[in-house]
């Protein structure tokens, strides 16, 4: 079924202002149902969980229900595999700390040069324990990854590979299931940053066979909150980050120090309700997957319209794939204009109620390695399914003026 764009846009009140929002990789607009759930929770259920009185029992039930809904969204086999936290950055710091005891001097960890710093910095911190960190590089001309290069980095000492599902600069979808098979064949674990993937495609952690997967709800139509998936046995093996009486078997609570933000967890479950409704309202994975199939098709059309315009210019270099193939990219599109400061391009479009952005987007190692850090970094246009072809046409007109 084609995407019902009218229904979609009616669910995001901020769109009524007429602003064309193309900074979605930095943080999407929020669903009304999410805001309503947060509001309702705070006014009716803002008590501590775990007590015997009715309000506390309701709070506990809502947290349990929210965890189950997010497990459904991610394709997790059990709700206990869902860990809530304040952000992807914080959750990956938590994970690195909880895993630290598993590493010995001269063990190896592989990180990428094409990831957001959230999935690089925490693992570099293990060098203080004598861990050797290797970098998986990207081809600087084609912007493509090479699994052969990863295989050359893997060794009997490799314990972990940290990789992004989608680059927040390039928009490229990396073959995570294939990478996971390769990593597991070498006896290592894989942790995936799914922040730039989650708004665009259905996540299925079981099918991907990843050990850990993390993303932020505020970049997926929800509140400033995040989730970490971990295979249950892997979570059991982690150190506790909570009080001493939260033992290793207390999953996921031992990884949620201070307890999760209950109202944001309840609010985030509204994201699942939305995609369920968008996919037919059957309440199962089929609805979620159907919704994201329609999302992907719509987004590919958005991406192709902008990419066709950029390809038509000889003064612009697309940083990433130049096509909008559904299997290979999401509509997070970065470019560099020859001889132009990226800041000036962005500030010109600001005049017309159109929001794009420039910089390195916390993927600084990638932008610097590609030699693109000068003159304001790259210009990024990041679209999601509530954007329209008409909005892209508006943006193209503004870019025409900015690139004169």
Q: How high is the mean pLDDT in each 10-residue block of the chain (404 residues)?
A: 94 95 98 98 95 96 98 98 98 98 97 97 98 97 96 98 98 98 98 98 98 98 98 98 94 97 98 97 96 98 98 97 96 96 95 95 97 96 98 97 91
CATH of domain 5-30+287-402: 3.90.1150.10
How far is 126 from 84, CA to CA, in rounded Å? 23
Alpha-carbon distance values, 185 to 180, 182, 193 (Å): 8, 5, 21
How far is 324 from 392, CA to CA, in rounded Å? 14
Tell me the pLDDT tens digit for each residue of 118-129: 999 999 999 999
Q: Which residue has the tokens 């970049």?
A: 219
The domain 34-275 is placed in CATH, from the list 3.40.50.300, 3.40.630.10, 3.40.640.10, 2.160.20.60, at 3.40.640.10
Contacts of 149 (CB under 8 A, 6+ apart): 136, 137
Q: H helices of 100-218, where?
A: 121-124, 147-153, 176-185, 205-208
103: DSSP letter: -
What value does the CA radius of gyration of the chain take, rounded to a whole number of Å? Answer: 21
How far is 400 from 381, CA to CA, in rounded Å? 15
CB 248 within 8 A of CB 220: no
pLDDT the model gives residue 404: 84
Tell me the pLDDT tens digit for each residue of 41-80: 999 999 999 999 999 999 999 999 999 999 999 999 999 9
CB 88 within 8 A of CB 214: yes
pLDDT the model gives residue 96: 98
CB 248 within 8 A of CB 261: no
| CATH 3.40.640.10 residue window(s) in the chain | 34-275
397: DSSP letter: H
Structure tokens at 322: 């130049």
How far is 158 from 152, CA to CA, in rounded Å? 11
> In 10 A of CB 344, how many CB atoms?
15
102: DSSP letter: G
Measured between its terminal Cα atoms, the distance across the chain in Å is 40
pLDDT the model gives residue 307: 98
Q: How many residues does the chain have?
A: 404
Q: Which residue has the tokens 């869902």?
A: 82
pLDDT the model gives residue 333: 98
pLDDT the model gives residue 1: 80
| CATH 3.90.1150.10 residue window(s) in the chain | 5-30+287-402
Structure tokens at 239: 């150190």
Q: What residue ranges in 240-398 does DSSP mark as E strands? A: 316-318, 332-337, 354-355, 357-359, 378-382
CB 222 within 8 A of CB 69: no
pLDDT the model gives residue 136: 98
Q: H helices of 186-311, where?
A: 205-208, 232-237, 262-278, 285-311
């Amino acid at each position: 079924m084609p995407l019902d764009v009218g229904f979609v846009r009616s669910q995001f009140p901020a769109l009524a202002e007429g602003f064309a929002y193309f900074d979605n990789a930095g943080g999407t607009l929020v669903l009304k149902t999410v805001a309503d759930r947060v509001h309702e929770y705070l006014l009716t259920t803002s008590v501590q969980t775990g007590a015997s009185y009715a309000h506390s029992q309701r709070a506990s039930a809502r947290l349990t229900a929210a965890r189950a809904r997010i497990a459904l969204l991610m394709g997790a086999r059990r709700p206990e595999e869902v860990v809530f936290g304040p952000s992807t950055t914080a959750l990956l710091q938590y994970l690195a700390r909880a895993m630290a005891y598993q590493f010995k001097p001269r063990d190896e960890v592989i990180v990428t040069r094409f990831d957001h710093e959230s999935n690089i910095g925490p693992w570099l911190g293990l060098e203080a324990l004598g861990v050797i960190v290797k970098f998986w590089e990207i081809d600087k001309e084609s912007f493509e990854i090479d699994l052969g290069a990863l295989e050359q980095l893997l060794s009997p000492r490799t314990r972990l590979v940290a990789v992004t599902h989608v680059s927040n600069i390039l928009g490229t979808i990396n073959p995570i299931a294939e990478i996971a098979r390769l990593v597991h064949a070498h006896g290592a674990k894989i942790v995936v940053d799914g922040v730039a993937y989650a708004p665009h495609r259905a996540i299925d952690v079981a099918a991907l066979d990843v050990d850990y997967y993390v993303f932020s709800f505020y970049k997926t139509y929800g509140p400033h909150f995040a989730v970490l998936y971990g295979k249950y046995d892997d979570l059991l093996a982690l150190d506790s980050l909570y009080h001493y009486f939260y033992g290793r078997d207390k999953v996921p609570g031992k990884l949620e120090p201070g307890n999760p933000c209950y109202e944001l967890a309840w609010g985030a479950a509204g994201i699942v309700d939305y995609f369920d409704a968008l996919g037919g309202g059957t309440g199962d994975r089929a609805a979620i997957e159907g919704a994201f199939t329609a999302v992907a098709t719509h987004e590919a059309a958005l991406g192709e319209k902008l990419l066709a315009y950029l390809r038509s210019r000889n003064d612009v270099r697309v940083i990433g794939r130049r096509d909008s193939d559904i299997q290979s990219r999401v509509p997070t599109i970065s470019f560099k204009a020859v001889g132009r400061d990226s800041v000036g391009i962005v500030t010109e479009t600001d005049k017309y109620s159109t929001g794009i952005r420039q910089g390195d987007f916390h993927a600084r190692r990638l932008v610097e390695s590609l030699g693109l850090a000068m003159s304001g970094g790259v210009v990024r246009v990041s679209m999601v399914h509530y954007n329209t072809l008409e909005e892209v046409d508006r943006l193209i007109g503004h870019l025409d003026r900015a690139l004169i």
